[in-house]
Structure 1
Amino acid sequence: MNKQIKKSIGKIHLWLGLASGLVVFIVALTGSILVFEEEIDPFIHPEFYKVETVGKSRIPIDFAIQSLRKEYATDSINRIYTFNDPERTILVMGKNTKGNTFFFAVNPYTGKIVSSMEQKKHFFSIVNKLHRSLLLGETGKFITGCSCLIFIIILLSGLFLWWPKKLKNLKQRLTIKWNASFKRVNWDFHSTIGFYSFLFLLIIALTGLTWSFKWFENSLYYLMDGVAKKPSIKVANPPKSKLLSEETFFYQDIIDETNKIYSYQGNVQLRMPNDTINSILVTKENTERTIPNQSSIAYFDRYTARNIQIKPYESFTKGDKLRRLIYPIHTGSIYGLPTKIIAFLVCLFAASAPITGFLIWWGRKRKKH
């Protein structure tokens, strides 16, 4: 009976692997690249991240926004990213009159726009879309989500197949016989490294489901809060009032007020609403904490820059806090470089698994013939 069960699980493992192999390869390979996005992108585009000289004081970001509107025909500002690091540039995302989205790097000490890049041409934007949706939009997102579910089944069935019947065979399952034939080395690599990577890949795959399926995200909230995730809060903007005068620094006032509300060291992000109803959402990540992605929130009047509401990180529900942890866990950035290296290596193995698994199947098929 046990032999028959193992044979059936082996078939499930095989055919699910063959069916999802190409998608798993693409998602895992792009995932391994995205692990070190924060290290690679500044190397490729240093002008986007570092200023040549650190000045004595910063000038209001509004001067740069005015230049974007006049010189770059930027029709609307979508997001503004400011950083606690004195060497960092300010990043602005905006759309021009043709509807194309651009990233702009601004020197915070001079207000000069030092570089620009269209979002759809940015290397990591392309890799990220390939990773999440295979560049196929919502259809691709569904495909990668299903492949992620399949991959979890493959991991669990693989562990069952790896598990030795007798304790004396454990050492053999834990080592790779490098001096053996290619066929044996390939099998050892597939099964042994698969065992060592199992827990890490299972965590990465499970957290990855959060972006593909609402039911999985809701299950996290049920687990932590006992209720489903509440719709994202969008604080309504007060009725349109008198606009601030041109002499007032609108965006800089919002940034300064946020830093007064949350006095800890951190990076501030402004998100402009894409409608005429909601207010400006501002987040400030606390970089003083070891665990990343712990941000507090504030809402501001889109016409007067007046603070409407605040929501400190401490007031978040357990579900919200867990949701915030999903991204650093998924990318391996939760404990910095050590966990990033682990995530990078196991993602590379995951990318190789469909290949080594295919070679095992092909070798057995040829042997039968």
Structure 2
Amino acid sequence: MTDTSLDAHDVQHDGSAQDSPQLEAPALEREGNSQNDAAASPKPAASGNLYANVWRWHFYAGLLTAPILWIVTITGALYVFRTELTEFRDHDLLRVTPAEQRMSYEELKQVAVTAHGSSDLEALIVYPDSTRSIQFVGHHGEEGEHGPEEHKLIHIDPYSGALLGTQIAEHDFFHIVLELHRNLLLGTTGRFVTELTTCWGIILLATGVFLWWPRSKKNVGVWVPRVRGKLYAILRDWHAVTGIYVVPLLLIVTATGLFFSPLMGNAFNTTAKKAGHWPIKEWFIPPQSKPVAEGTPVATLDEIVPTFLAQSRPNDAVRIRFAESPEHAHRAFLIQDEDKNSYRSVDVDQYTGELLNVVDGSDLKLLYRVRLWAVSIHMGQIFGTPTKILALIAAVVMLALSITGLWMWWMRKPSGRTGFPRRPARSLPNWGWGIVVLCALVLPVAGVSILLVGIFDQLWGRFYNAPPPTT
């Protein structure tokens, strides 16, 4: 999930300028405005100029990132409750009525082979919960032409052996929601766009706090939003005050989203690998079975599945990936809901059914554990339902901040004009540029965009303000 907040409000958190001692917002571009509108404020010029610069960048960033922000927040809010919504939608595929006797896993495998039309099955998903169906996983498409990693889920009643239905995992609604959230269905390009939006979300939150910062002793409009008065003032209050109370939550959700990103996320992964904190042997290298004589028969599913289930916890999904070659062992990843922090890896010998290895997420080294924590926090999974609700609140507030920001701009926009803030008379002070450079180093994708926007802004200013040619 990502977030930004478009804070296009006047800094005086009051309905009228005359009874507020705080600085007014920089002038919007409209008929009759002077280049010196901001300088006309009775407050010190340096303070007003700094505010004008911050507000201008906050305004433009919020405006330009809004379309991506809406997609990311809506899809994020949906995906947080993927498990609950899928359970409701696919109840007849996922739930069964327990009976006294279960069919053997080998018999159930034959049901899956018949339904799939191929013996090319790569995984089995089972549960310690007796009311759950099981799913075999096979490649989708003609044998040998698997396409772009598409997989068929074959749902079977483990008691009756009835085929409950099949699904293509990559065609599922929530798979598409996740791809929209991560990359806008644009592949690598989309991932960079969402990373850019995420970085600007952090910048918008920081600048939003600066713009909100109380410059008087008033409470109304600063700590308490108004519910009566002019619509613009009400929107401004709810935009600013609501935003300030949830800034910590929004920062957490936004910053953890960067662990998915192509630049900063991969940089973190590379650092973890260089530090020796990447679980290559424990998780990423296929496990090895013990050497056996040629022709030794493999263990049946009825011999290996109980070994995996013996290592499961009550709410686990046990996702068993079958051995890829005669030398390999079977490996399962056990996970509770979508909480990556609950991962447990279990290896079982494909010939003897013997337990070879168990690795919990808590057994891994620090940097990779940080990555797991970040993913679970971002998805609202770290403490179950309460943090899912917090993640939902964060998504809704982020969306509301963007909508109210655009709404305020549209209300104040003069007819036939853009209503964009004018360029301040002076640039940032040196320490302000120091903060910009630091921001660019910490958030490099945003840094590149700041450079490009700055160049464009200078060129546009020279063109827009150039005197007309003489005749």
Same fold (TM > 0.5): yes
Q: Do the aligned partners of 1:331 and 1:340 also contact (CA within 8 Å) in 2?
A: yes
How far apart are 1:344 and its partner, in Å?
1.0
The aligned counterpart of 1:60 is: 104
1:362 aligns with 2:410: yes
C-alpha change, 1:243 and 1:349, in structure 2 (3 Å) is: farther
Within 5 A, what are the aligned runs for 1:89-108?
A: 89-98=133-142, 99=146, 100-108=150-158
* Alpha-carbon separation, structure 1, partners of 2:108 and 2:257: 37
Within 5 A, what are the aligned runs for 1:193-204?
A: 193-204=242-253
1:353 aligns with 2:401: yes
How far apart are 1:78 and its partner, in Å?
3.7
1:15 aligns with 2:60: yes
* Alpha-carbon separation, structure 2, partners of 1:304 and 1:319: 35
Which secondary structure does the structure 2 equivalent of 1:174 belong to? coil
The aligned counterpart of 2:297 is: 244
Q: Do the aligned partners of 2:95 and 2:131 also contact (CA within 8 Å) in 1?
A: yes
Within 5 A, what are the aligned runs for 1:77-226?
A: 77-98=121-142, 99=146, 100-166=150-216, 168-213=217-262, 215-216=264-265, 219=268
Q: Do the aligned partners of 1:281 and 1:299 also contact (CA within 8 Å) in 2?
A: yes
How far apart are 1:32 and its partner, in Å?
0.7
2:318 maps to a residue whose letter is: V
C-alpha change, 1:300 and 1:146, in structure 2 (3 Å) is: farther
C-alpha change, 1:256 and 1:11, in structure 2 (3 Å) is: same
2:180 maps to a residue whose letter is: L
Which secondary structure does the structure 2 equivalent of 1:341 belong to? helix
* Alpha-carbon separation, structure 2, partners of 1:125 and 1:283: 19
The aligned counterpart of 2:366 is: 318
How far apart are 1:75 and its partner, in Å?
5.0
Question: What is the identity percentage for the equivalent residue pairs of Structure 1 and Structure 2?
Answer: 24
* Alpha-carbon separation, structure 1, partners of 2:131 and 2:222: 50
Deviations 1:75-129 (A, max 9, x none): 5334332223222222333214433522222222233221211223311111111
* Alpha-carbon separation, structure 1, partners of 2:181 and 2:413: 32
C-alpha change, 1:263 and 1:139, in structure 2 (3 Å) is: closer
1:28 maps to a residue whose letter is: T
The aligned counterpart of 2:113 is: 69
Which of the two has greater helix per residue? 1
C-alpha change, 1:200 and 1:324, in structure 2 (3 Å) is: same
Q: Do the aligned partners of 1:237 and 1:302 also contact (CA within 8 Å) in 2?
A: no
1:54 maps to a residue whose letter is: P
Deviations 1:196-246 (A, max 9, x none): 2211111111111111136446548969x993642643135457953636x
* Alpha-carbon separation, structure 2, partners of 1:202 and 1:40: 27
The aligned counterpart of 1:332 is: 380
* Alpha-carbon separation, structure 2, partners of 1:295 and 1:20: 34
1:344 maps to a residue whose letter is: L
Deviations 1:241-286 (A, max 9, x none): 53636xx523x433322234x3654432213477898653312347
Larger radius of gyration between Structure 1 and Structure 2: 2
The aligned counterpart of 2:425 is: none
The aligned counterpart of 2:286 is: 235
2:275 maps to a residue whose letter is: V
How far apart are 1:11 and its partner, in Å?
1.4
1:10 maps to a residue whose letter is: W
The aligned counterpart of 1:30 is: 75
Q: Do the aligned partners of 1:300 and 1:307 also contact (CA within 8 Å) in 2?
A: yes
Q: Do the aligned partners of 1:301 and 1:308 also contact (CA within 8 Å) in 2?
A: yes
Which secondary structure does the structure 2 equivalent of 1:282 belong to? strand
Which secondary structure does the structure 1 equivalent of 2:120 belong to? strand
* Alpha-carbon separation, structure 1, partners of 2:51 and 2:279: 44
C-alpha change, 1:135 and 1:160, in structure 2 (3 Å) is: same
Deviations 1:55-79 (A, max 9, x none): 2343333322222222321453343
* Alpha-carbon separation, structure 1, partners of 2:186 and 2:323: 26
How far apart are 1:170 and its partner, in Å?
4.1
* Alpha-carbon separation, structure 1, partners of 2:128 and 2:218: 54
Unpaired runs of at least 5, structure 1: none
* Alpha-carbon separation, structure 1, partners of 2:66 and 2:354: 52
* Alpha-carbon separation, structure 2, partners of 1:354 and 1:276: 55
1:258 aligns with 2:302: no
Q: Do the aligned partners of 1:296 and 1:312 also contact (CA within 8 Å) in 2?
A: yes
Q: Do the aligned partners of 1:73 and 1:96 also contact (CA within 8 Å) in 2?
A: no
* Alpha-carbon separation, structure 1, partners of 2:223 and 2:244: 8
Which secondary structure does the structure 1 equivalent of 2:167 belong to? strand
Farther off after superposition, 34-43 or 99-108: 99-108
1:360 maps to a residue whose letter is: M
How far apart are 1:149 and its partner, in Å?
1.2
C-alpha change, 1:230 and 1:316, in structure 2 (3 Å) is: closer
Report the count of equivalent residues.
359
RMSD (CA atoms): 3.1
Farther off after superposition, 22-31 or 268-277: 268-277
1:183 maps to a residue whose letter is: Y
Q: Do the aligned partners of 1:102 and 1:118 also contact (CA within 8 Å) in 2?
A: yes
Unpaired runs of at least 5, structure 2: 1-45, 420-471
Which secondary structure does the structure 1 equivalent of 2:92 belong to? helix
Which secondary structure does the structure 1 equivalent of 2:229 belong to? coil
